[in-house]
Structure 1
Amino acid sequence: MTDIDPADQPYVLATWLGERSDAELADLLRLRPDLAVPPPANLSVLASRAEQRASVLRATDDLSVLELTLVGLLARDGGIDSGVSRERLGELVAGRAPARAVDRALTVLRDRALVWGSRLLRVTPAARDAVGWRIDPATTDLTADQIADALSALTEDERRLLTTLATSSPIGRTRDAAPGTSPDRPVQRLLASGLLVWLDEQTVELPHQVGQVLRGATVTDPGALTPPTVRGRKRPIAEVNAAAAGEALELIRHCEAVLAALGDSPAPTLKAGGLGVRESRRLAKAVGIDDGRVGLVLELLAGAGLIASGAPDPLPASDTGDDYWAPTVVADSWFDADTAHRWQLLAQTWIDLPRRPWTVGLRDPNDKPIAALSEEVRASGAPRDRRFVLDVLAELGTGAAATPDEVAALVAWRRPRWSVRLGSSAIGHTLAEATAVGLVGRGAIASPGRSLLHDGPAESVLADMAAALPKPIDYVLVQADLTVVAPGPLVPELLAQIQLVADVESAGAATVYRVGETSVRRALDAGRTAAELHALFASHSKTPVPQALTYLIDDVARRHGRLRAGVARSFVRCDDPATLAEVLASPVAEALALRALAPTVAVSQAELGDVLEKLRGAGFAPAGEDSSGAIVDLRRPGARVPKRRERTARRAPTPPTQEQYEQLVRQLRAGERAAATSQRGGGVRSDGSRAGSAATMALLQLAVEVGRSVRIGYVDAQGIASVRIVDPVSVGGGQLDAFDPADGAIRRFTLHRVTSVALVE
């Protein structure tokens, strides 16, 4: 290898990396972990990887508008070749951002090796491709709503033209931009409406905000180098927590209702997986919620393992042999847990759920509604996006509230490269779900949500939710219209009793139940006596028990149990021969094959449960009894399916520890010293093995600058070594582009496969 004067060597990335401290190199590998796989042999290999386009674009995903703008300014003003001074960069920013903010942004870029250099700032060539807008883009005075209105009035040709510019380069060349062109031409109409900006007689530009609307991104000002402000709306944290706790209680109630509905009537699984739209609507109607809400509840229950698809026990009467969605056996233990534990499972499931429940019901590319629990709802990046949106809201402070539009603007400024995937619509849905789950209240992060979001100890999360939940009460208010008002959550024992004897009429901060003939009969069927029901209301109602309720209980109890069914296989007995005769004369007797054994006794070959169900359906009020004649609860338990064994998830590679990064840096330093020793020992090895180093890059850069030919040793992908003379054209991104006289064409060589370089005299 030809020796060159160090003063003449171009200042390359590998040289700058060599000047970094071990701690700084370890931070680089932590921030860009792809650079460490597989471990680079030396700093030249590390620098080559750091300039590769795929790695650079991955590293820029986490940059803000300010950081990306600095990259664009440096690339435009010579940062790729000669470098830009810090003073010149300050002039380019022109007071649009504080100097401290610019310094912090440069630190972020240096830490990731996207910007480098000591006296002069240089930028990695591929980084300019990460800036999704021109540094000085055309803008419009139209608001987002005005742009949307203008777009809705476009013809098909006009919209197609704008869509092409929005999905490619915003600059378009056309003869229709020339003065004097007919105003009826699409380009002229778009210019007149403000949806295009005139640059010259043959060039127009799509304003950045118009492109954002067309792509479904949040509309932002690309020239704003400071984050958007949020109006200060501080909510008392107690108020925030109370609102979140109310939503948590409502979510748990809906989950209980959906589990009960699926237990009573499991829903068939679609052949493609998921739950059909008709079944979802049936559940929504049974529970009393809308279709969007039932989609969220179903996704949470499935994610938490409380429902699954399989063969339920018992099977539905009209079983077709297909799988059904039904509660799992785990649901029973969830029912028995306290409110805070039940909420924690649902909330943690939502945070980590690799699905987007809000897409349920939307139309797919084939214009079909997306089914709940289907593969179309899956989105592997959903947990990352969800956490980032909530982190942005949490950073505003305790009790600080923000509207979805304000959060969307902050997210778009902090992560502009995410804007298409995480637009204002997606953020609005995410915050709505966070509110429905009980993580957000009154537009601010609640204390339990903050603990859960920051991976706090389970005890802390449970304590925060327990403190936020209203204290359970042990009384109700019985009204004259046979409604029972629970002004707060009831203690579990009283809640079970009230739910048995009354039906929920409305829920919220205060739950209203209604007592009716059917609900009283349900309690009597479960083994309660009239005396026990009277005692229940007398001891737990803070208002006088209305006489109408007393009469209702006594009237239903008087008729209840006069007709009794037992196991013979089944038998029906009644102390009143006239009542039994009425049963035997009705059509239901033939369906059950009832046969009288005595004036007060009849038997049937049907199962006892079927006898009770059909007699009740015919208008009678039988009660089940055991061998001793005592009334027993013979209601059928809900169907259950075994908890499905979770599919083994793809395990993400475990990130290296800080000690491992430090060890890798020590190996890099050792490899660099070995490469330097090899160069001093003669440069090109006889076996054709690599001898690459920073000097190799420097020599190639020098050859490009002075237009010299070089002789390179190269090992191709098949392991075949060769030596050739080429004329370097450009070096960067881990690649050497050079003119090969033997082929008469420009060829691309991978730098880490170059084994030797020498200038040709």
Structure 2
Amino acid sequence: MLTLASRLRALDDAALRRMIGLRRVSAHGIHDFFDLAEALLDPDAIESTLSRLDRSTLAVLAVAGELGAPSLATLVESLADLGHDTLDAADIAARVDRLEELMLLVAVDGTVRPYPAVTAQLRGWPARGLPSAADLAGVPAPTPLAPLSATDGRFTERLAAERAFAAVSSIAELLTELAREPARELSRGGLGLPDTKRLSAVMGIDVDEVAPLVSVAARAELIVLAGGYWGQSPAGEEWLVNGAATRWAVLAGSWLDALPTDVREILAQRPGVAWGDALHRFVAWLYPAGGAWMDERIAVFARDAELIGITARQATSAAGASVLVGDLDAAVATITASLPAEVGTVYLQHDLSIVAPGPLSSSIDARLRTFADVESRELASTYRLSGASVNRALAAGEDAESLLAFLASISVTGIPQPVDYLIRDAADRYGRVRVGALHPDDPDGASYVSSDDAALLGAIAVDQTFTPLGLSPVSATRLQSALPAHTVFWALTDARYPVAAEDAAGTIVHPRRHEFTAAPRTDLPDPSIALVETLRATDGGEAKAANAWLARQLDAAIKHRQTVSVSVRMPDGEVVDYLLEPASVGGGRFRARDRRADIERTLPLSSIVSITPAP
């Protein structure tokens, strides 16, 4: 431990923080470098680190431990003799460097020396059903992941394309709905059942599929959680106007970025193959101590890969193979050829329906949704116009001419008279009811509802839907509410009244129902910085460290009532050995009973040369 503590002291702050992060060291209970060394050599801490090492790295560590302190050349030769398939000395040297960075061994004077506690941990593996040093080096990998047949490959491509299209479409519906009405995150995590059912209906998927797709969208930062609610992000709005292939690339790219490096390396080396049980067997071989944590990582990312078409029935698609090797451009080209072609025209019907003969261009679809409701979402989607849907667009800043001009530009059937009439009538009626803040400098204060149409205002006043608003008449043309203007405005909008919001000057304004949610940026302090500062503050140099180590050994002897042999350098330079029973340590001295002379001695720590357990 003294050797490791001295080595830790010699690291610069950056290297020390990196090591603390790599070993996942908790600052709890660590006050000096000896505490840190003790924490690193704790059996549980060693096992946790070993569980995250691949088989070849473990073989290097275990074989070096069996050999004691081999040179790199001897280590390479021994690994080869055991059947290790990596004979490149540079590769072995790189693994030694990584193990040294993890403080599992020390490479000095051309030798590789694992710490005894690490070697002891590995030697105990066979008794727990884990591989020995010889097994780590010599047992070959299981049967490689099987390549797909031509028939299976065609099926995989077709199914993957369908899933990619379905995921993009469902997440588009998710974003649109969350922009309209955010979904609450429960305190224990996950969405509540009412919100889940609402999103399930909008997205056209089963209830069980909502949470995974919400996770996919959140990982891509298309939606963010703020104030306990999931809402659309600015990135989500930009995503909605992109083409289907570009949308898919965002989902695939975020999946790849979040994929653990070790898992990515496994899959990238074997693109175009079936995953399934063969992958789990390979992972179990590659990470023999990985256990459930590695299986769980594989399971989560395999689920999401299936959802977005990177795989289909646990087989990698052509686009997915390109994603795994990091070539998103090739993946987009592949998925573009697989997805149904987008269309840019629609059929306007006299019954106020709008029929798209295929998947609509994203920009057209986004614009249509602002003033028409989606009735069905398949390859050929159907939208429907209504007074309420048109009023929604008018509240967002559209007018009759802009809506009619847009429809004329995409319709192959012209604009039927009922459509023209509906839009112009809604525009004429829009703003017959106005909502504003009673005190403009307090937008969250009381509000008013006004209209020159006394009959319409009277209908609002007696509408039982608005009882929670507490509307009370103050004149023939005005009602008043203690609630904010935006609350009253959206309540009237939902009830399909021709309402407009206005400012203090009476000018119509176009409020957004839910402001874009910005991803919260919480810069959490790095705990390793405080830990390193603590370690440096308690470090008094080599002399103090040596005394601290002696004191620690004596404390252990006192705790376990252990007799020790203490070598003490006398003033004349002679070294005298005492057989002592330590009683206490403090003030740079320790007090003990001399077993041979049967007297009590008090000795300065600075005079002690060594301490060893008595036989």
Q: What range is the shorter-chain TM-score in?
A: 0.5 to 0.7
TM-score, normalised on structure 2? 0.56
How far apart, in 1, do the equivalents of 2:612 and 2:120 lie?
32
How far apart, in 1, do the equivalents of 2:59 and 2:493 lie?
77
**2:382 alignment partner in structure 1:** 513
Q: CA deviation at 1:512?
A: 1.4
Secondary structure in 1 matching 2:299: helix
Are positions 1:393 and 2:267 aligned together?
A: yes
**1:335 alignment partner in structure 2:** 237
**2:557 alignment partner in structure 1:** none
Q: What code does the residue aligned with 1:498 have?
A: L
Q: CA deviation at 1:253?
A: 0.9
**2:54 alignment partner in structure 1:** 64
The one of 186, 210, 223 equivalent to 1:294 is 210
**2:285 alignment partner in structure 1:** 413
How far apart, in 2, do the equivalents of 1:615 and 1:30 lie?
56
CA contact (8 A) 1:475 1:486 kept: no
The one of 538, 544, 550 equivalent to 2:416 is 550
**Where in structure 2 are there 5+ consecutive unaligned residues?**
435-447, 530-540, 551-563, 569-581, 599-605
Q: CA deviation at 1:386?
A: 3.2
**2:192 alignment partner in structure 1:** 276
Distance 1:643 1:52, change over 3 A: closer
Q: What code does the residue aligned with 1:485 have?
A: A
How far apart, in 1, do the equivalents of 2:549 and 2:490 lie?
89
How far apart, in 1, do the equivalents of 2:458 and 2:114 lie?
92
Query: What does 1:242-641 align with in structure 2 at a 5 Å threshold?
Result: 246=165, 249-250=168-169, 252-263=171-182, 267=184, 270=186, 275-296=191-212, 298=214, 304=221, 306-310=223-227, 325=229, 327=231, 331-332=233-234, 334-336=236-238, 339=242, 386-396=260-270, 400-423=272-295, 425-434=296-305, 436=307, 442=317, 445=320, 451=326, 475-478=344-347, 482-485=353-356, 487-488=358-359, 490=361, 492=363, 494-507=364-377, 510=379, 512-517=381-386, 521-522=390-391, 536-541=406-411, 543-544=412-413, 550=416, 552-554=418-420, 556=422, 560=426, 565-567=432-434, 569-571=449-451, 573=453, 588=463, 603=477, 605=479, 623-624=498-499, 637-640=512-515
Q: What code does the residue aligned with 2:87 have?
A: R
Q: CA deviation at 1:587?
A: 7.0
Secondary structure in 2 matching 1:256: helix
Q: Deviations over 1:157-186 (max 9, x none)?
A: xxxxxxxxxxxx56xxxxxxxxxxxxxxxx
CA contact (8 A) 1:308 1:644 kept: yes
Distance 1:107 1:725, change over 3 A: farther
**2:438 alignment partner in structure 1:** none
CA contact (8 A) 1:389 1:427 kept: yes
Secondary structure in 1 matching 2:451: strand
CA contact (8 A) 1:476 1:487 kept: no
Q: What code does the residue aligned with 2:525 have?
A: R
CA contact (8 A) 2:347 2:354 kept: yes
Secondary structure in 1 matching 2:512: coil
Query: What does 1:693-712 align with in structure 2 at a 5 Å threshold?
Result: 711-712=566-567
How far apart, in 2, do the equivalents of 1:247 and 1:753 lie?
77
How far apart, in 2, do the equivalents of 1:270 and 1:759 lie?
58
Q: Deviations over 1:431-454 (max 9, x none)?
A: 2225656877737646567659xx
How far apart, in 1, do the equivalents of 2:517 and 2:585 lie?
52
CA contact (8 A) 1:534 1:550 kept: no
Q: What code does the residue aligned with 1:540 have?
A: I
Are positions 1:229 and 2:144 aligned together?
A: yes
CA contact (8 A) 1:473 1:488 kept: yes
**1:735 alignment partner in structure 2:** none
Are positions 1:98 and 2:85 aligned together?
A: yes
CA contact (8 A) 1:447 1:464 kept: yes
Secondary structure in 1 matching 2:211: helix
Distance 1:125 1:754, change over 3 A: farther
Are positions 1:108 and 2:95 aligned together?
A: yes
**2:117 alignment partner in structure 1:** 126
How far apart, in 2, do the equivalents of 1:581 and 1:516 lie?
23
How far apart, in 2, do the equivalents of 1:554 and 1:79 lie?
89
How far apart, in 1, do the equivalents of 2:449 and 2:110 lie?
96
Q: Deviations over 1:34-69 (max 9, x none)?
A: 79999x99xx99999987646644553443335546
**2:601 alignment partner in structure 1:** none
Query: What does 1:165-204 align with in structure 2 at a 5 Å threshold?
Result: 169=128
How far apart, in 2, do the equivalents of 1:342 and 1:633 lie?
35
Secondary structure in 2 matching 1:422: helix
Distance 1:717 1:133, change over 3 A: same
Identity %: 17
**1:649 alignment partner in structure 2:** 524
Distance 1:531 1:412, change over 3 A: same
Secondary structure in 2 matching 1:476: coil
Q: What code does the residue aligned with 1:100 have?
A: L
CA contact (8 A) 2:56 2:137 kept: no
Secondary structure in 2 matching 1:649: coil
Q: Deviations over 1:221-280 (max 9, x none)?
A: 9984336512235989x99997897577446514422422435xx64x656676534433
CA contact (8 A) 1:64 1:414 kept: yes
Secondary structure in 2 matching 1:605: strand
Q: What code does the residue aligned with 1:639 have?
A: H
Distance 1:427 1:232, change over 3 A: same
Distance 1:475 1:523, change over 3 A: farther
Distance 1:500 1:86, change over 3 A: closer
Q: CA deviation at 1:287?
A: 4.0
Secondary structure in 2 matching 1:282: helix
Instruction: Flag the structure with more relative contact order, 1 or 2, with Cα contacts below 8 A and sequence separation at least 6.
Output: 1
Q: CA deviation at 1:559?
A: 6.7
Q: CA deviation at 1:118?
A: 10
Distance 1:133 1:68, change over 3 A: farther
Distance 1:298 1:650, change over 3 A: farther
Distance 1:389 1:612, change over 3 A: closer
- Paired positions, count: 511
Distance 1:641 1:240, change over 3 A: closer
**2:610 alignment partner in structure 1:** 756
* 473-482 or 584-593: bigger deviation: 584-593
